[in-house]
Amino acid sequence: MEIRIERHDNIDVVQLSGRLDMVSSSALKDRMHQALQDGRLAFVLDCRALDFINSSGLGRLLSVFKDVRLAGGQLVLCSLTPFVDEVMRLTCLDRVFDLHHDRETAMAILSAAAPIPAVKSERG
């Protein structure tokens, strides 16, 4: 999987291409963790070139979503391929993630949204 990040003001557009599976999903987690450490809190995951996602990829995506939310940030997905869109619907994750048809809409939603208050972890 290839991951490219473009910065647009306060929004990071994360372009995913290839396969999001057990092998490649750790790279996504690492890149997103680094962005959070750098104080970045608004993310659009552009999935237009994401060909495949399996349960490991979905699990890692949920983990990244949780990390972003715990940091007080927001993450939205856009431009899902038909396969990824179907997986999201079949797993009911379309009810968890904020999904948009295109990057421009996703960025506009993030730009207009108020920051989400950080959630404290019970583990400390």
Residue 120 vs residue 32, higher pLDDT: 32
Residue 81 or 115, more confident? 81
Mean pLDDT of 88-95: 96
User: What does the pLDDT look like over 40-74, one tens digit per residue?
Assistant: 999 999 999 999 999 999 999 999 999 999 999 99
Measure the CA dihedral 61/42/12/5, to 10°.
-20
How much is the pTM?
0.88
Q: For the chain, what are the domain ranges?
A: 2-112
The domain made up of 2-112 is a member of CATH 3.30.750.24: yes
Q: Which residues of 91-114 are buried (b: 16+ CB within 10 A; e: fewer)?
A: eebbeebbbbeebeebbebbeeee
